[in-house]
Amino acid sequence: MSRKNAEAQFRLLREEWGDKGIDLDAVSRKCMELRIETPSWAYANCGTRFGLVKDPAAPRNAYEKLSDGAQVHRFTGITPAVAVHVLWDNVPDWADLQKHAVSQGIRIGAINPNLFTEPQYKFGSICNADPKVRRAAVDNMKNSVDIGRQVGSNLLSLWFADGTNYPGQGDFRRRKAWMEQCLADVYAHMPKSMRMLVEYKFFEPAFYHTDIADWGISTLLTKKLGERAQVLVDLGHHAHATNIPWIVSTLITEGKLGGFHFNDRKYADDDLTTGCMNPYELFLIFNELVAGMEDPSLKTDFAFMIDEMPVIKPRIESMIQSAVNLQEAYAKALLVDRAKLSEAQDDNRIIDAEEVIRAAWTADVKPILEVGRMRKGLDPDPLGAYRKSGYYAKTLKERSIPETSRRTTKKRMQKV
């Protein structure tokens, strides 16, 4: 779509929605103020348990991952931070990595300690029967807190692979007590400015039980820890048919919604492009978020993060798709006529309430986002613009050279 048509369509829509009391200029502006982190690990080679899919242009270290992440922000304008994984992204000097990020127009986002890759975690981390392993896990998390301090990140994002594969393998009650103690230790170590997000996951890599399996246990844990501990909702981490918008709403009322790991899935957790399978559900989640954000009686501060492993898709392109899909869901949620909705709900007029939701859902929001981008000096088509930029070809060439022969990286590596 050319820029000119977008403007024309936008004007038509602005008139139409203006009549309903919705200010499309404001919607467009808000959509450009959306802030989503992308994950450093999405830019690296990844795969399934059946094998790794290799891209010759894949980044070879944390610096290159951040450079890739910067491209997504360059074209979408809404992804100014990249979450890092302590272990996979380890560098000798985190402040230097942050400097690199800033030089690319972004910054380091949430700090994610890795508590599952090393052999010591074979039987779990903070729920491991071995106290030495639990201590190592706590130290690992405290180290991540310190990295956060160094780079100015206020988000400690925790996911635990802890669980068991067979009935009898673990004592659920003792494991819970260990977990609570370990988390309390880490919480006490955090600066006042930092939030701890506790992620839950229905299953995997544990296949009989998972110690933090659902929003219920995450909520109980974070309530015991304190105000700066909140729940992280990963869209792929639920049993089939679970009503995620309801969980989101419930967490908001409890002051415990800390943030999201966005992605999509059809079967089990599988890190597909956000919004690729059930875009309506994504919109309904944003509908709850916007309702919460617009309620002055509520304190809301949600950390939006994408957590995906593109596997067979070009990685940067997949991130752009996800960011755009999120922006579309947000735009539609901003179009919901909340007063009309409330009235219909009050009267139990089901179809009227549903039609309010669907009017926003079926709205054509592309012109709104295109105009928003253009007003920020961006190309209206982020994916197309990225493709035209030649970034992939450039990195393909650079990164097919063995890393150690590159001067800059070499220098950085010497510091390790």
Under rule CB under 8 A, which residues in 72-111 are in contact with a copy of itself? none
Burial string for 78-105 (b: 16+ CB within 10 Å, else e) reads: bbbbbbbbbeebebeebeebbebbeebe
Cis peptide before 205 (omega within 30 of 0): yes
* 120: three-class secondary structure by DSSP: helix
Supply the DSSP symbol for 269.
S
Specify the stretch interacting with a copy of itself by CB under 8 A; choose among 36-44, 89-97, 120-128, 406-414.
Answer: 120-128
Tell me which residue has tokens 């390790």.
416
Q: Which two tokens stand for residue 263?
A: 């992605």
Q: Which is nearer to a copy of itself, 95 or 177 (CB)?
A: 177
Q: Which is nearer to a copy of itself, 198 or 341 (CB)?
A: 341
- Residue choice 11, 16, 105, 226 for contact with a copy of itself (CB under 8 A): 16
Q: Which is nearer to a copy of itself, 153 or 263 (CB)?
A: 263
| 301 is a site residue for a copy of itself (CB under 8 A) | no
Q: Which is nearer to a copy of itself, 241 or 416 (CB)?
A: 241
Binding residues among 216-235 for a copy of itself as defined by CB under 8 A: 216-217, 219-220
Q: Which is nearer to a copy of itself, 246 or 388 (CB)?
A: 246
Element (H, E) at 108: strand 107-113
Neighbours of 253 (CB within 10 A): 11
End-to-end CA distance of the chain: 48
Binding residues among 355-374 for a copy of itself as defined by CB under 8 A: 355-358, 362-364, 366
> Interior CA angle at 381 toward 375 and 385, to 5°?
105
- Count interface residues toward a copy of itself (CB under 8 A): 109
Q: Cα Rg for the chain, rounded, in angstroms?
A: 22
Question: Of the candidates 280, 204, 208, 284, which has an alpha carbon nearest to the alpha carbon of residue 236?
Answer: 204
Q: How far is CA 252 from CA 57, 219, 395, in A?
A: 41, 11, 42
Q: Which is nearer to a copy of itself, 56 or 105 (CB)?
A: 56
Binding residues among 154-213 for a copy of itself as defined by CB under 8 A: 161, 164-174, 176-177, 202-205, 207-210, 213
Q: Which is nearer to a copy of itself, 220 or 413 (CB)?
A: 220
Supply the DSSP symbol for 277.
S
How many residues are there in the chain? 416
Q: Which is nearer to a copy of itself, 94 or 286 (CB)?
A: 286
Neighbours of 255 (CB within 10 A): 14
- Residue choice 4, 21, 122, 296 for contact with a copy of itself (CB under 8 A): 122
- Residue choice 348, 405, 408, 414 for contact with a copy of itself (CB under 8 A): 348
Binding residues among 239-298 for a copy of itself as defined by CB under 8 A: 239-243, 245-246, 249-250, 252-254, 265-268, 270, 272-273, 276-281, 284, 287-288, 291-292, 295
Specify the stretch interacting with a copy of itself by CB under 8 A; choose among 29-37, 41-49, 185-193, 370-378.
Answer: 41-49
